[in-house]
Protein backbone atom coordinates (compact mmCIF):
# COMPACT_ATOMS: atom_id res chain seq x y z
CA UNK A 1 0.00 0.00 0.00
CA UNK A 2 1.45 3.44 -0.91
CA UNK A 3 2.67 5.54 2.01
CA UNK A 4 0.33 8.18 3.43
CA UNK A 5 1.42 11.79 3.89
CA UNK A 6 1.83 11.08 7.60
CA UNK A 7 4.01 8.05 6.89
CA UNK A 8 6.18 10.01 4.44
CA UNK A 9 6.96 12.44 7.26
CA UNK A 10 7.25 9.73 9.92
CA UNK A 11 9.82 7.77 7.88
CA UNK A 12 11.44 10.68 6.02
CA UNK A 13 14.99 9.69 7.03
CA UNK A 14 14.41 6.21 5.61
CA UNK A 15 13.01 7.54 2.37
CA UNK A 16 16.23 9.37 1.50
CA UNK A 17 18.28 6.20 1.99
CA UNK A 18 18.60 4.63 -1.46
CA UNK A 19 18.68 1.17 0.19
CA UNK A 20 15.21 1.77 1.70
CA UNK A 21 13.15 4.48 -0.03
CA UNK A 22 9.36 4.32 -0.28
CA UNK A 23 9.32 0.76 -1.60
CA UNK A 24 11.54 -0.46 1.24
CA UNK A 25 9.40 1.30 3.82
CA UNK A 26 6.31 -0.37 2.39
CA UNK A 27 8.09 -3.73 2.78
CA UNK A 28 8.93 -2.97 6.42
CA UNK A 29 5.35 -1.93 7.14
CA UNK A 30 4.06 -5.21 5.73
CA UNK A 31 6.62 -7.38 7.55
CA UNK A 32 6.01 -9.63 10.55
CA UNK A 33 8.80 -10.14 13.08
CA UNK A 34 8.78 -12.23 16.27
CA UNK A 35 10.98 -11.32 19.23
CA UNK A 36 11.44 -14.20 21.71
CA UNK A 37 12.43 -12.89 25.14
CA UNK A 38 11.59 -9.34 26.26
CA UNK A 39 14.70 -8.45 28.24
CA UNK A 40 17.87 -6.49 27.54
CA UNK A 41 18.53 -7.61 23.95
CA UNK A 42 14.86 -7.15 23.14
CA UNK A 43 14.70 -3.68 24.71
CA UNK A 44 17.09 -2.37 22.12
CA UNK A 45 15.86 -4.57 19.26
CA UNK A 46 12.14 -3.85 19.79
CA UNK A 47 12.73 -0.11 20.21
CA UNK A 48 14.52 0.03 16.84
CA UNK A 49 12.08 -2.27 15.03
CA UNK A 50 9.07 -0.29 16.27
CA UNK A 51 10.71 3.03 15.42
CA UNK A 52 11.62 1.72 11.96
CA UNK A 53 8.00 0.88 11.20
CA UNK A 54 8.09 -2.92 11.13
CA UNK A 55 4.33 -3.38 10.74
CA UNK A 56 3.75 -6.45 12.91
CA UNK A 57 5.85 -7.20 15.97
CA UNK A 58 5.23 -10.34 18.01
CA UNK A 59 6.67 -10.51 21.53
CA UNK A 60 6.95 -13.80 23.43
CA UNK A 61 7.93 -14.02 27.08
CA UNK A 62 6.39 -15.78 30.07
CA UNK A 63 8.48 -13.97 32.65
CA UNK A 64 7.45 -11.09 34.88
CA UNK A 65 9.22 -7.74 35.31
CA UNK A 66 11.44 -7.71 38.40
CA UNK A 67 13.24 -4.83 40.04
CA UNK A 68 16.67 -6.12 39.01
CA UNK A 69 15.57 -6.07 35.33
CA UNK A 70 15.27 -2.29 35.20
CA UNK A 71 19.07 -1.79 35.20
CA UNK A 72 19.15 -2.81 31.51
CA UNK A 73 15.67 -3.73 30.26
CA UNK A 74 14.54 -0.22 29.47
CA UNK A 75 11.27 -1.27 27.83
CA UNK A 76 9.96 -1.88 31.33
CA UNK A 77 9.11 0.77 33.90
CA UNK A 78 8.57 0.78 37.66
CA UNK A 79 4.85 0.80 36.93
CA UNK A 80 5.25 -2.54 35.10
CA UNK A 81 6.86 -4.39 38.03
CA UNK A 82 5.36 -7.86 38.54
CA UNK A 83 3.50 -7.76 35.21
CA UNK A 84 4.25 -10.01 32.26
CA UNK A 85 7.20 -8.83 30.16
CA UNK A 86 5.54 -9.40 26.79
CA UNK A 87 2.57 -7.29 27.89
CA UNK A 88 4.85 -4.59 29.31
CA UNK A 89 6.94 -4.52 26.11
CA UNK A 90 3.74 -4.32 24.05
CA UNK A 91 2.77 -1.17 25.92
CA UNK A 92 6.12 0.35 24.94
CA UNK A 93 5.55 -0.45 21.26
CA UNK A 94 2.02 0.95 21.29
CA UNK A 95 3.34 4.15 22.82
CA UNK A 96 5.85 4.41 19.95
CA UNK A 97 3.29 3.94 17.21
CA UNK A 98 -0.39 3.03 17.45
CA UNK A 99 -0.35 1.74 13.86
CA UNK A 100 1.99 -1.16 14.63
CA UNK A 101 0.24 -4.49 15.09
CA UNK A 102 1.50 -5.96 18.35
CA UNK A 103 0.96 -9.67 18.91
CA UNK A 104 1.50 -10.60 22.52
CA UNK A 105 2.53 -14.13 23.49
CA UNK A 106 2.82 -14.13 27.30
CA UNK A 107 4.41 -17.59 27.50
CA UNK A 108 7.74 -19.39 27.64
CA UNK A 109 8.59 -21.06 24.35
CA UNK A 110 8.96 -24.82 24.54
CA UNK A 111 9.22 -27.79 22.21
CA UNK A 112 5.41 -27.97 21.95
CA UNK A 113 4.50 -24.37 21.14
CA UNK A 114 7.46 -22.87 19.28
CA UNK A 115 6.78 -24.19 15.77
CA UNK A 116 3.22 -22.85 15.72
CA UNK A 117 4.45 -19.59 17.21
CA UNK A 118 7.16 -18.85 14.63
CA UNK A 119 5.19 -20.08 11.63
CA UNK A 120 3.29 -16.81 11.19
CA UNK A 121 6.36 -14.57 11.07
CA UNK A 122 8.89 -13.58 8.41
CA UNK A 123 11.85 -13.36 10.80
CA UNK A 124 12.64 -14.33 14.39
CA UNK A 125 14.94 -12.75 16.98
CA UNK A 126 16.52 -14.88 19.70
CA UNK A 127 16.64 -12.44 22.62
CA UNK A 128 16.72 -15.03 25.42
CA UNK A 129 19.49 -15.73 27.90
CA UNK A 130 19.48 -19.48 28.51
CA UNK A 131 21.55 -21.37 25.94
CA UNK A 132 19.16 -24.32 26.13
CA UNK A 133 16.40 -22.01 24.88
CA UNK A 134 18.72 -20.57 22.23
CA UNK A 135 19.21 -24.12 20.91
CA UNK A 136 15.45 -24.68 20.98
CA UNK A 137 14.92 -21.53 18.89
CA UNK A 138 17.74 -22.56 16.55
CA UNK A 139 16.40 -26.08 16.06
CA UNK A 140 12.83 -24.87 15.50
CA UNK A 141 14.00 -22.28 12.95
CA UNK A 142 16.13 -24.85 11.09
CA UNK A 143 13.30 -27.41 11.00
CA UNK A 144 10.74 -24.75 9.97
CA UNK A 145 13.16 -23.07 7.53
CA UNK A 146 12.70 -19.77 9.33
CA UNK A 147 15.45 -17.10 9.22
CA UNK A 148 16.53 -15.74 12.58
CA UNK A 149 19.02 -13.59 14.42
CA UNK A 150 21.00 -15.01 17.33
CA UNK A 151 22.71 -12.80 19.89
CA UNK A 152 23.98 -13.12 23.41
CA UNK A 153 25.79 -10.91 25.90
CA UNK A 154 27.32 -11.11 29.36
CA UNK A 155 29.46 -8.60 31.27
CA UNK A 156 30.64 -6.10 28.62
CA UNK A 157 30.85 -8.59 25.71
CA UNK A 158 28.57 -10.24 23.22
CA UNK A 159 28.18 -11.95 19.87
CA UNK A 160 25.65 -12.12 17.05
CA UNK A 161 25.00 -14.16 13.92
CA UNK A 162 22.13 -14.62 11.47
CA UNK A 163 20.78 -17.93 10.21
CA UNK A 164 19.21 -18.03 6.76
CA UNK A 165 17.73 -21.35 5.57
CA UNK A 166 19.66 -23.00 2.71
CA UNK A 167 22.27 -20.25 2.85
CA UNK A 168 24.20 -20.52 6.05
CA UNK A 169 25.24 -22.53 9.06
CA UNK A 170 23.16 -22.63 12.21
CA UNK A 171 24.07 -22.02 15.85
CA UNK A 172 24.79 -25.72 16.39
CA UNK A 173 27.32 -25.61 13.54
CA UNK A 174 29.17 -23.01 15.63
CA UNK A 175 28.56 -24.48 19.10
CA UNK A 176 27.90 -28.18 19.48
CA UNK A 177 26.75 -27.83 23.09
CA UNK A 178 25.67 -25.04 25.41
CA UNK A 179 28.63 -23.30 27.07
CA UNK A 180 28.76 -23.84 30.80
CA UNK A 181 28.22 -21.24 33.42
CA UNK A 182 28.19 -17.62 32.42
CA UNK A 183 24.76 -16.04 32.63
CA UNK A 184 23.83 -12.44 33.27
CA UNK A 185 22.61 -13.54 36.65
CA UNK A 186 25.93 -15.08 37.69
CA UNK A 187 28.49 -12.75 36.10
CA UNK A 188 26.51 -9.55 35.43
CA UNK A 189 25.92 -7.48 32.30
CA UNK A 190 25.98 -3.80 31.43
CA UNK A 191 22.80 -2.52 29.78
CA UNK A 192 24.64 -0.37 27.26
CA UNK A 193 26.69 -3.40 26.12
CA UNK A 194 23.74 -5.76 25.69
CA UNK A 195 21.94 -2.90 23.94
CA UNK A 196 24.63 -2.85 21.23
CA UNK A 197 23.88 -6.49 20.44
CA UNK A 198 20.11 -5.88 20.41
CA UNK A 199 20.70 -3.04 17.98
CA UNK A 200 22.77 -5.38 15.77
CA UNK A 201 19.81 -7.79 15.76
CA UNK A 202 17.43 -5.03 14.65
CA UNK A 203 19.89 -4.03 11.92
CA UNK A 204 20.15 -7.63 10.69
CA UNK A 205 16.35 -7.89 10.70
CA UNK A 206 15.92 -4.79 8.54
CA UNK A 207 18.70 -5.96 6.18
CA UNK A 208 17.09 -9.36 5.78
CA UNK A 209 13.60 -7.95 5.20
CA UNK A 210 14.88 -5.52 2.59
CA UNK A 211 17.49 -7.87 1.11
CA UNK A 212 20.24 -5.28 1.44
CA UNK A 213 23.85 -5.40 2.58
CA UNK A 214 25.66 -8.50 3.79
CA UNK A 215 24.20 -10.44 6.69
CA UNK A 216 26.12 -12.08 9.52
CA UNK A 217 25.43 -15.42 7.87
CA UNK A 218 28.41 -17.76 8.12
CA UNK A 219 30.09 -15.06 10.17
CA UNK A 220 30.00 -14.11 13.84
CA UNK A 221 30.17 -10.55 15.14
CA UNK A 222 32.07 -10.23 18.41
CA UNK A 223 31.90 -7.07 20.51
CA UNK A 224 33.92 -6.14 23.59
CA UNK A 225 32.68 -2.94 25.15
CA UNK A 226 35.65 -2.60 27.50
CA UNK A 227 38.40 -2.65 24.88
CA UNK A 228 36.30 -1.86 21.77
CA UNK A 229 37.98 -4.80 20.09
CA UNK A 230 35.28 -5.63 17.59
CA UNK A 231 35.60 -8.31 14.96
CA UNK A 232 33.64 -10.32 12.41
CA UNK A 233 34.93 -13.89 12.18
CA UNK A 234 33.94 -16.21 9.34
CA UNK A 235 33.26 -19.80 10.36
CA UNK A 236 33.60 -22.73 8.07
CA UNK A 237 30.13 -23.09 6.62
CA UNK A 238 27.56 -25.69 7.48
CA UNK A 239 28.89 -28.55 9.62
CA UNK A 240 28.04 -31.84 7.86
CA UNK A 241 27.89 -33.45 11.31
CA UNK A 242 25.56 -30.76 12.75
CA UNK A 243 22.87 -32.33 14.95
CA UNK A 244 20.06 -30.41 13.27
CA UNK A 245 21.19 -29.14 9.84
CA UNK A 246 23.89 -31.75 9.03
CA UNK A 247 23.83 -34.64 6.55
CA UNK A 248 22.38 -37.09 9.07
CA UNK A 249 20.65 -34.95 11.72
CA UNK A 250 19.73 -36.58 15.03
CA UNK A 251 17.19 -33.80 15.79
CA UNK A 252 14.18 -34.23 13.51
CA UNK A 253 11.47 -33.71 16.11
CA UNK A 254 11.76 -31.18 18.93
CA UNK A 255 9.83 -33.26 21.46
CA UNK A 256 12.39 -36.07 21.09
CA UNK A 257 15.09 -33.64 22.17
CA UNK A 258 13.07 -32.07 25.01
CA UNK A 259 15.50 -33.13 27.75
CA UNK A 260 18.21 -30.85 26.38
CA UNK A 261 15.90 -27.84 26.19
CA UNK A 262 14.83 -28.27 29.80
CA UNK A 263 18.31 -28.63 31.26
CA UNK A 264 18.99 -26.08 34.02
CA UNK A 265 15.31 -25.16 33.79
CA UNK A 266 15.25 -23.86 37.33
CA UNK A 267 16.69 -20.60 35.95
CA UNK A 268 13.72 -20.00 33.67
CA UNK A 269 11.52 -18.54 36.33
CA UNK A 270 14.25 -16.28 37.66
CA UNK A 271 15.93 -13.15 36.50
CA UNK A 272 17.51 -14.68 33.43
CA UNK A 273 16.64 -12.44 30.50
CA UNK A 274 19.46 -10.27 29.26
Contact residues for Zn ion, defined by CB under 5 A:
170, 172-173, 242, 245
Q: What count of residues does the chain have? A: 274
CB of 174 to Zn ion, least distance (A): 8
127 is catalytic: no
State the residue number with the nearest CB to Zn ion.
242
- Contact status, residue 166 vs residue 143, Cβ threshold 8 Å: no
- Contact status, residue 158 vs residue 130, Cβ threshold 8 Å: no
User: Please, which residue, 143 or 194, has the CB nearer to Zn ion?
Assistant: 143
Q: Which of 125, 121, 143 is nearest to 134 (CA)?
A: 125
CB of 237 to Zn ion, least distance (A): 10
Task: Report d(CA 219, CA 270) in Å as an integer.
Answer: 32
CB of 235 to Zn ion, least distance (A): 11
Alpha carbon distance, N-terminus to C-terminus of the chain: 37
Beta strands in the chain (DSSP E): 32-36, 56-60, 101-105, 123-126, 148-154, 157-163, 219-224, 230-234
Reduced to 3 states (helix: H, G, I; strand: E, B; else coil), residue 48 is helix
CB of 206 to Zn ion, least distance (A): 25
User: Please, which residue, 26 or 139, has the CB nearer to Zn ion?
Assistant: 139
Count CB-CB contacts under 10 A for residue 94: 13
User: Please, which residue, 65 or 245, has the CB nearer to Zn ion?
Assistant: 245
User: Please, which residue, 40 or 168, has the CB nearer to Zn ion?
Assistant: 168
- Contact status, residue 70 vs residue 27, Cβ threshold 8 Å: no
User: Please, which residue, 21 or 249, has the CB nearer to Zn ion?
Assistant: 249
Of 127, 173, 184, 242, which residue is the catalytic one? 184
- Catalytic residue set: 184
Amino acid sequence: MPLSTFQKLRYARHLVLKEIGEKGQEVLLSSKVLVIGAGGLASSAIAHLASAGVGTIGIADGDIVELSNLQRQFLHTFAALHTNKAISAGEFVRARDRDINVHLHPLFVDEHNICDLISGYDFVLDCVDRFETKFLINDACVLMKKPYSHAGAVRFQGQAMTYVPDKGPCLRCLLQTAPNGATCQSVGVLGAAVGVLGSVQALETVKFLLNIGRLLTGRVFYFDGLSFETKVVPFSGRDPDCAVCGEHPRIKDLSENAKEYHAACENVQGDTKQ
